[in-house]
Structure formats: C-alpha cells, structure tokens
Amino acid sequence: MSFSISDIPVDPTALRADLLHEASGAYVSFEGWVRNHNEGQAVEALEYSAYKPLAEKEGHRIIAEAIERFGIESAACVHRIGPLSIGDIAVWVGVSSPHRGAAFDACRYIIDETKARVPIWKREHYQSGKTEWVNCHTEIKT
Amino acid sequence: MSFSISDIPVDPTALRADLLHEASGAYVSFEGWVRNHNEGQAVEALEYSAYKPLAEKEGHRIIAEAIERFGIESAACVHRIGPLSIGDIAVWVGVSSPHRGAAFDACRYIIDETKARVPIWKREHYQSGKTEWVNCHTEIKT
Amino acid sequence: MPDSGRELLTMKFSIEYFALLKDQRGCSSETLETDAATPRDLYVQLAEQYAFSLPPESLKVAVNEEFADWNHSLNAGDTVVFIPPVAGG
Amino acid sequence: MPDSGRELLTMKFSIEYFALLKDQRGCSSETLETDAATPRDLYVQLAEQYAFSLPPESLKVAVNEEFADWNHSLNAGDTVVFIPPVAGG
C-alpha cells in the first residue's frame, strides 16, 4: 500500500511488479495520460504541483479505504508533479486482488477519490499562448 | 482493435504502447494472473486451450461491441494458450479512451464477455496430482 | 452404432474435439459418416458411443467456425465442434 | 490592512501558497503576524490585501498539514495552507 508524489517519470512496469502476489488472480491498472486537448482547447504542455505532505497523507487514506472497502490484496498510486508533455503519464493506479470485480471497483475508487480530494493542481499551457490553472477559472466571482 | 490467442508470453508493455493516442487521456488495463489456488485446491500449473478460429472471431465481436457501446478510442485483448505457471499472465485487456469512466466500463465488459463467451478452456494441475478441466466437473450428471 | 434402418441418408462431417471432449474421445478430430441431421442428433450418437460425461445442455455447438443452433440442418462436409463450458480468463 | 483596533491579540503564522494563490500572492510562503483567530479571518485579510480571485467557499484549508475547519481556532506558530480547487489526474 503506497501513495506517492513523484517528480520523475512514472514507470508502470516497475510499479506493477510490486503488486505481484501468488494469491492474486486479478490486476487492474489505470493511467491518466496528458491529452493534446481539454475542453476544446489545444494543449501544448502542462504542469502539476502538489502540497506534498498533505497530498501523500490523503492519498494513503484513500488507498487504506480502498483496501478496507473492497477487500483487495494491495494497491498503489503515483502522481507526477512538474512539467509534463503530451502522452506522459500524469497519474498511475494499480490494484491486485483475488477477484476482478473488487480490483476494478477499487481502482476506480482510488482514481476518483484522488482527483476529488488530493491537493494537486494542474496548469495547462495552450497553443494560443495562454496558461490556466484548471478548475480555478470558473470559480472566479467578479 | 484486436483480439488474439497467443502461445507465447503476453508482453503488457508492448501491448500498451499500441493503444497510446494523443487524444486519449485514460488507459485501463486488466490482467488475469495464474493463482496458486482455486476453490480451496493448491494449483501447481495449468494449461489453456482454445478453438482458435472461433475464439478470435468471438473476441473481435466483443471488442467491437465495447467500442460501439462505450465510445472508447481503442481496445485489445490477448489470451494465452498452452502450459502456464503461477504468476503468468493468462489474459490481458487494455482500453484507451478520452474519459476514464468509459475506459473502466469497457475493460470490464471485455473481460466479462471473454470469460463467458470465448471458447477457451482451462485445465488445472493440483498439488494432489489430479488434473481437472475447470467448469466441466460440476456439469457431470451421473 | 446408429440405427441401420435410416442408413439411406448419411453425410460425412468433420468433427473437432476440445478440452474434456478431446480427452474422452481420445483424439482431436475425425471425419465420420452418419445419418445425423442436426448437431443434436450427432452429439447424442457420439455421447453414447464414447460415454461423454457432459450433457448437451451444458454445451454450445459451432458449425463451420460459427456458433449454431442445436437444431441447425447439417450439410455434407460441415465441420462440427461441440463446445464444453468455457473457462477463459 | 486589518482593523488596528484589535491589534492587541496578534499571532505569527506560516502560510504556504500553491497554484493560483501562489501566482496571485507572488511568493510560495511567508510568515506574518495578524489578529486573525481562524482560517476564515486570515483568508479574508489576505484576499483583500492581494486581490485573490477565489472565493473562500471554493477553497479548503489545512492547518499543520491536516485539513481543518474554516472556524478552527488558530494557535501561534500554526502553518496554514489555503487549498484551491484541486485538479489531479
């Protein structure tokens, strides 16, 4: 069980190897890739930043909740920070479990909760030259 | 879009690379690993066999259904045949999609339908020395 | 053996065996001539001859590499495969 | 500036800024002495001073590396972080 914030590229092959267990029959992984567009705008690059100590604490809580709730064998999540390019892995989640239903449900829970609760922010750089902190623009009251 | 029956080890890294698309932000994969037990019996090894032409036809239909139904970008599935050992990948499914909900749903659909519909059989070799075609024993009427 | 009173209408079929049926038949494929008109007739004959343990309701059937109905009318030269309960994944 | 009529009860806090708040503040952390008794008081003061565009109801707040209530009673030396809408994944 682990959750980490990483400023180096995510290596799914190595992370997957840590979840191998002889008793587990099912492995589900999720990767969030940097897309070349978002809500109609062409994205050239982006960066993530995090409030690392709280992000890792909240992430550990999410993993613990998933293990408790779905009865999975083990799970891990890594979220990148720093500048990323199109196609880079922004976030990776892996779950191993005796049964596939629990593995799917837990993997989805972890990514959904991570996106909702973990203090990580994304700034997108558009082809137009503009940059924007995602989710912060529409909140402005003027 | 592809479904194949393979008599050589599954390479998730290579298969994943084929699903990378600049427009896709979500990737979900499933792996079924050979477990060291099944329904209380210690499993030493197992083998899969398939009725290959029909298995690949039915598998292609499942992939096409998933693309149609969930609006994903692309998907693939590979199922091993031949002798396998504990920890080997028996089946791999990968899905890429603009959105993660569709990727999870499609991945689960493909593995569920593959297990239910594709003519592939599993013989387990137990530590007791016995072997058994899974799902065939309980069907016997005597 | 099939009822010899109906030997007038016989056809040749290819049959492939998989998994438990292959073990119980002792071979993976054969060609045979029979008066069976449907997959159901054919399975009943073979099950009796080789003591197949799987009841037909636990099987599916494929004709010429496509799933088919048990009451499908067979044609001479068809390849018939009886599909034991699957266990992929 | 804070109301100088309440300057009797001031405390020092460390504040860290992230994302849009860091850009709008122009620095990533600072220590300041203020009469704010709760994170809500503190954000109102800072938002006015630095023209933060995010309303407090869009933020969460953390005190000493744990999520906290907006009405939490601050202690001298606390580290306070205002958390803009997150966008991980």
In this prediction the ipTM stands at: 0.91
pLDDT at B100: 96
Q: In this complex, which of D18, D53, D86 lies closest to A140 when CB atoms are compared?
A: D53
Residue C7 pLDDT exceeds 60: no
Confidence of residue D3 (pLDDT cuts 50, 70, 90): low
Mean pLDDT of chain C: 93
CA distance A76 to chain B (A): 15
| C6 pLDDT more than 80 | no
Q: Is residue B141's pLDDT more than 70?
A: no
Does C49 score more than 90 pLDDT?
yes
pLDDT value, residue A41: 85
For B139, which of C66, C67, C85 is closest by C-beta distance?
A: C85
Residue A141 in this model has a pLDDT that exceeds 50 = no
Q: Measured between alpha carbons, how far is A25 from A123 in angstroms, rounded to an integer?
A: 38
Task: Indicate yes or no: CB of D54 within 8 angstroms of CB of A118.
Answer: no
Q: What per-residue confidence (pLDDT) applies to A45?
A: 87
What A38-45 contacts at long range (C-beta under 8 Å, 24+ apart), as own/partner pairs, is: A38/A124, A38/A134, A41/A124, A41/A126, A41/A127, A41/A128, A42/A126, A42/A127, A42/A128, A43/A86, A43/A124, A43/A125, A43/A126, A43/A127, A44/A86, A44/A125, A44/A126, A44/A127, A45/A83, A45/A84, A45/A85, A45/A86, A45/A125
Q: Which residue has the tokens 């970008």?
A: B73
Q: What is the mean pLDDT of residues B77-98?
A: 96
Kindly determine whether residue C19 and residue B133, on different chains, have CB atoms separated by under 8 Å. Answer: yes
Distance CA B101, CA A92 (A): 15
Please state whether at least 3 CB pairs lie below 8 Å between chains A and B: yes
DSSP assigned state of C9: S
**What digits encode the pLDDT tens for the residues C15-31?**
999 999 999 999 999 99
Averaged pLDDT score across all residues of chain A:
92
Which uninterrupted H or E stretch holds D75?
none
- CA B96, CA A107: separation in Å to the nearest integer? 15
For D24-83, write each residue's pLDDT tens digit. 999 999 999 999 999 999 999 999 999 999 999 999 999 999 999 999 999 999 999 999
Which of 5-64 (C) contact B at CB < 8 A? 16, 18-20, 23, 53-55, 58, 60, 62
The pLDDT of B17-26, averaged and rounded, is 88
- The predicted pLDDT at position A24 comes to 84
Summarised one tens digit per residue, pLDDT across range A79-99 is: 999 999 999 999 999 999 999
Distance, CA of D48 to CA of B34 (rounded, Å): 61
**Pairing mode of beta strands B120-126, B82-85:** unpaired
C-alpha torsion sign, points C24, C29, C35, C40 = positive
Q: What is the pLDDT of residue A140?
A: 40
At B117-137, the pLDDT tens digits run: 999 999 999 988 899 999 987
**D70/D63 Cα distance (integer angstroms):** 10
* CB nearest C87 (choices: B54, B111, B134): B134
Kindly tell me if the per-residue pLDDT of C2 is higher than 70.
no
Shortest CA distance from C81: residue in chain B: B51
Contact D2, D35 (CB under 8 A): yes
| Residue B142 pLDDT class (50, 70, 90 cuts) | very low
Q: Is the pLDDT of residue B110 over 70?
A: yes
**Encoded amino acid at A135, one letter:** N
Q: What is the pTM of this model?
A: 0.92
CB C18 within 8 A of CB B119: yes
Query: Would you state the pLDDT for residue A142?
Result: 37
- pLDDT per position as a tens digit, A38-82: 888 888 889 999 999 999 999 999 999 999 999 999 999 999 999
pLDDT of residue A40: 82
pLDDT above 70 as % of chain A: 96
Length of chain C equals: 89
Enter the tokens of residue B132. Answer: 């058994």
Report the phi/psi class of residue A71: left, alpha or beta, with left for phi > 0 and alpha for psi in -120 to 50: left
